[in-house]
Structure 1
Amino acid sequence: MLALTMTPAAAQAQTQAVAPVQAGVTATQQSATALHASRQDAAYLRAAHRGNLAEIEAGKAALRESHDRDVRGLAWRLIRDHRKLDARLRGVADRLDVRLPGSPSAEQRHDLRVVLSRSGHRFDRAWLRLQAESHEHALWLGQRELRRGHSQWVKDLARDSAPVIRHHLRAVRAEM
């Protein structure tokens, strides 16, 4: 009855005043669900983040060590794309309140040190093999997340990352 007696401007003002409250409820509901990442979702986010960090570091190493124009071009692409993938991943991890590691795993760092112990053509071949293995592992992680994950945000991330990772894997294999 009150709404019928209001002027259109007053009714619009009341609607606009209610909208932020409704938006606040929605944000509160989302943050409440954000605190409940499954073990699988959190494990995927951490592993994929470490993989992105490892790819970025490996790309930088190739830019420093390789004299092969194609390998260096591929390294630039990996750095650029994995930074983009990781930026999106960090946003999802923040929403789900998942703490991410600050560096690649000890195994990933060791594998890169082994590659860096080589030089010239041997470095390039070892670097490309490492990239192939890393990207194959990243695809496997994503497939496992799609099968076992619970968060739609994380599953979307895994699904949307797969074409980029497959493209990298094809490019790496073409150089081998």
Structure 2
Amino acid sequence: MRAARKLVPAGAAAVLAFTLAPAAQAQSPTPETAAVAPVSWAQRVSAQDRAYLREAHRGHLAEIAAGRAALRESRDRDVRGIAARLIRDHGRLDARLREAARRLRVSLPDSPSAEQRRDLRAVVARNGHRFDRAWLRLQREAHEHALWLGERQLRRGSSGWVKDLARDSAPVIRHHLHMVRTEL
């Protein structure tokens, strides 16, 4: 009986050592622990990573705004279908991006860039078929830029999380680009 009492604390210590050892060996926080990561870790996010997060976020906001404009202005069923898909997919991609930015302590802009807003205003000023064609061309350019942005992040970025965002968004953006090119 006494031997058993002595083994319980020793066994508990061994279990504790096994559960803490992997955490002590981890070199960077996981997404679950990043919310409590020290400021010094968040500072390791490179300027490239920050720029990607901000520009990709603006791109998502611009795509959502463009999708809403197409739903309001277009009478073409295919354009409206693409617009609804863009709103849904870019909303999901942006939710993931916003969460990563929050955990990495990167501030994000509140709206698309002035150039993106100006380009959308120019498209919305058109009517009917001319609107649809201009909208599709705008989407082609925006999605080509988004792919380039992601490729640049994969080459130059340092944060694995941010690279994962770029890598995971590429198939969605390629699919959007294919839909737009098919419709043009």
* TM-score of the pair, normalised by structure 1: 0.87
Classify 1:5/1:132 alpha carbon distance in 2 versus 1 (closer, same or farther; 3 Å). same
Q: Aligned residue pairs: how many?
A: 174
Aligned twin of 1:70: 78
- After TM superposition, list the pairs within 5 Å mapping 1:3-152 onto structure 2: 5-7=6-8, 11-12=11-12, 15=15, 27=33, 30-31=37-38, 32-152=40-160
- Segments of 5+ residues of structure 2 without an aligned counterpart are none
User: Which position in structure 2 is the counterpart of 1:158?
Assistant: 166
Shift of 1:6: 3.1
- Give the deviation of 1:171 after TM superposition: 0.2
CA shift for structure 1 position 36: 2.0
Residue type at the aligned position of 1:48:
A
Q: What residue ranges of structure 1 are gaps of 5+ in the alignment?
A: none
Letter of the 1:35 counterpart: Q
- Residues 1:68 and 1:11: Cα distance change in structure 2 (over 3 Å): same
Q: CA distance change for structure 1 residues 23 and 123 in 2, over 3 Å: closer, same or farther?
A: same
Percent identity, aligned pairs only, is 66
CA distance in 2, matches of 1:155, 1:146: 6
Distance in 1 (CA, whole Å) between partners of 2:101 and 2:37 is 14
Change (3 A) 1:19 1:124: same
Deviations along 1:85-132, one digit per CA (max 9) or x if unpaired, are 001111111121100000000000000000000010000000000000
Separation (CA, whole Å) in 2 of partners of 1:162 and 1:156 = 10
The DSSP-based 3-state class of the residue aligned with 2:162 is helix
